[in-house]
Structure 1
């Protein structure tokens, strides 16, 4: 599958919260990076990423979300995310960019960058 179509399908699955569909695009040795110093700032492998998603689902109440993209260049694509979310009793508006690197038809790395509020 061409990266353009893969990126489009992945982004649509994320927007529609179809976890089984978007997780099918992850490489078994996927690396996920966040720009903070917390325990989830770097996770490696499908199992750790599933644990990261489980933590998010248990701790975040998403009131609304929006995705914009994907924007494809070479072996990478980016997606803009906006969320109205409550975490630990604190509601905030989040903006972030997810940068995904594809190798051998799977997402090998996801890297998130946060916008300034």
Structure 2
């Protein structure tokens, strides 16, 4: 499968909240990086990344969610995410860009970037 089609399939699965489909696209040794410090700023492996997703699902009330992309170059693609979320009783709009690196037909790394000042 081409990187273009892989990226389109992944983004569609995320957009449609088909978790089984997009998690099947993770490499066993996937690395996930978020800016800053904290216990989930770097997750290594499927199990840790699944724990991160489980934490998000248990703690975030998502009122709206949009994703734009994918934007492909080489073995990477980017997706822009926008969401309206309540966490810890506080409701905020949230924006981020994710860069995904694909190796051997699976996502080997994901990195998240936030606008300065958010």
Shorter-chain TM-score range? over 0.9
Aligned pairs, how many?
117
Stretches of 4+ moved more than 2 A in 1? none
Matched, 1:98 2:79: no
Which aligned pairs between 1:1-117 and structure 2 lie closer than 5 A?
1-116=1-116, 117=118
Instruction: Return the TM-score normalized by structure 1.
Output: 0.98
- 1 CA distance for matches of 2:36 and 2:90? 18
Describe the SS at the equivalent of 1:22: helix
1:53-89, CA deviations, whole angstroms, 9 ceiling, x for partnerless residues? 0000000000001000000000000000000001111
Deviation at 1:105? Answer: 0.6
Describe the SS at the equivalent of 1:5: helix
Deviation at 1:9? Answer: 0.3
Describe the SS at the equivalent of 2:13: helix
Which sections of structure 2, spanning at least 5 residues, go unmatched? none
- 2 CA distance for matches of 1:36 and 1:96? 14
1:14-39, CA deviations, whole angstroms, 9 ceiling, x for partnerless residues? 00000000011100000000002011
Deviation at 1:96? Answer: 0.2
* RMSD between superposed Cα atoms in Å: 0.7
